[in-house]
Amino acid sequence: MMQVVIRADASVQIGSGHVMRCLTLADELRRRGADLTFVCREHPGNLIGAIAGKGYGVVILRQEAKTYSVRSGDVVHAAWLGVPWEQDARETLDSLGEAIPDWLIIDHYGIDRRWEETLRPHVGRIMVIDDLADRPHDCELLLDQNLYKGMETRYDKLVPLGCKKLLGPQYALLRPEFAIARKNLRQRDGQIRRVLVFFGGVDPTNETAKSVRALAGIMDHRLEVDVVVGNGNIHKQGIQEQCTEKDGFYYHCQVNNMAELMAAADLSIGAGGSATWERCSVGLPSITISIARNQVETTEVVADRGAAWYLGESANVHIEHIQDALLCALKHPDQLREMGTRAVRLMATGGDEAAHPLLQAILEVGNAQT
């Protein structure tokens, strides 16, 4: 049985996307017989309970009482570890005990080659999930599921020569429900009857409430609106109250049927990040607002390809901007139809079985290294 350890965190600052996409990969690996353990630090807003609730073992790294002060030589997102990288590597290594896992999978912006080299003698192979390309790695396999200009070469000097690179949304870590939804897609006609609002599991700047207010201000159109938040959203009570006060607004918290909600919608208002590829996989047109700097470049490229409307970074987007975009969408059903077509096209050949090319690569690399 293949033994896999996953090092990933969620928090109010980090968001939920890293852990959620690792859970998708873990589910597929477990289905194929692997035994998996997560290693997570107990940050505020963590998803340790959700991971354990799916039956995975979780090693919990203690959260320090004081905020970590970034040092000279640290990577850009070093503070996201909550402790010095040396301490995190040592604690992760201690969690392994005498076991030598076949794979160590890392999805963390605070980890770079130094951390990976520390663990290297104690694991079979290392896989890194990244989308920043801002630090070197020591790994056999690297996954970046996003879309960038020049993405074919952006990791050339950051990984070993023999590293296998899986680049682009054809490798996106999508749950099986999206493959099912994609195979049963209805033909959208460009008319907007139902809107989905979803800004990830955390939404620290509360773009959800902003979007709800924008939709409520569109008085001339009767729209059904699904509003989805995660358990880690600190604004969820206020958002629920907003929805309760308005006819046609339906509040959902920590759903497990996102593919169904996306397939039912005619338009989405949401963030960049992993949800981009979920929307694209089911051809859902979207009005997109980036809520983190690392979402900007990919979101701009997706918009340039005609697969979304991008309004900009959250601090610069106001209610009237969202309303203007909504009114434009309502007036141009032909543009929405084309947007949905282009969104599906971005997923290339891997869209229906998104995790499978990745799983095949894991097996191929593993066999080559044996």
- pLDDT at residue 368, rounded to an integer: 61
- pLDDT at residue 362, rounded to an integer: 77
| Residue 366 reports pLDDT greater than 80 | no
Backbone angles phi, psi at 343, to 5 degrees: -60, -45
- pLDDT tens sequence across 227-237: 999 988 999 99
Distance CA 103, CA 36 (A): 10
- pLDDT at residue 352, rounded to an integer: 45
Quote the strand ranges of the chain, DSSP E.
3-8, 35-41, 57-61, 103-107, 125-129, 141-144, 164-167, 194-198, 224-229, 249-253, 267-271, 286-290, 309-313
Backbone angles phi, psi at 214, to 5 degrees: -65, -45
| Residue 219 reports pLDDT greater than 60 | yes
For the chain, the straight-line distance linking the first and the last C-alpha, in angstroms and rounded, comes to 15
| Residue 357 reports pLDDT greater than 90 | no
- pLDDT tens sequence across 154-191: 999 999 999 999 999 988 999 889 988 888 888 899 99
| Domains of the chain, start order | 3-173+355-369 (3.40.50.11190), 177-349 (3.40.50.2000)
Compute CA distances 265 → 191, 223, 258, 345, whole Å. 10, 11, 11, 19
Percent of the chain with pLDDT over 90: 78
Bridge partners, 141 (sequence order): 127, 164
Query: Would you state the structure tokens that stand for residue 261, as one six-digit string?
Result: 């909600």
Compute CA distances 203 → 34, 128, 211, 272, 336, whole Å. 33, 25, 12, 11, 26
Mean pLDDT for the stretch of residues 320-338: 96
Mean pLDDT for the stretch of residues 251-255: 95
Distance CA 84, CA 93 (A): 14
- pLDDT tens sequence across 263-277: 999 999 999 988 999
- pLDDT at residue 353, rounded to an integer: 47
Mean pLDDT for the stretch of residues 9-26: 93
Q: Do 291 and 207 contact (CB within 8 A), yes or no?
A: yes
Percent of the chain with pLDDT over 70: 96
| Residue 354 reports pLDDT greater than 70 | no
Mean pLDDT for the stretch of residues 75-104: 96
CB count, 10 Å around CB of 256?
A: 8
- pLDDT at residue 341, rounded to an integer: 94
Angle between helices 207-216 and 319-331 (to 10 degrees): 50
Of 58 and 350, more confident: 58
Q: Which residues contact 65 (CB under 8 A, 6 or more apart)?
A: none
Backbone angles phi, psi at 56, to 5 degrees: -95, 145
- pLDDT at residue 67, rounded to an integer: 86
Instruction: Give the confidence band of 347 by pLDDT, cuts at 50, 70, 90.
Output: confident
- pLDDT at residue 367, rounded to an integer: 64
| Residue 22 reports pLDDT greater than 80 | yes
Least confident of 46-60, 103-117, 176-190, 329-343: 176-190
- pLDDT tens sequence across 183-213: 888 889 999 999 999 999 889 899 999 999 9
Exposure of 249 by Cβ count < 10 A (0-12 exposed, 13-18 middle, 19+ buried)?
buried
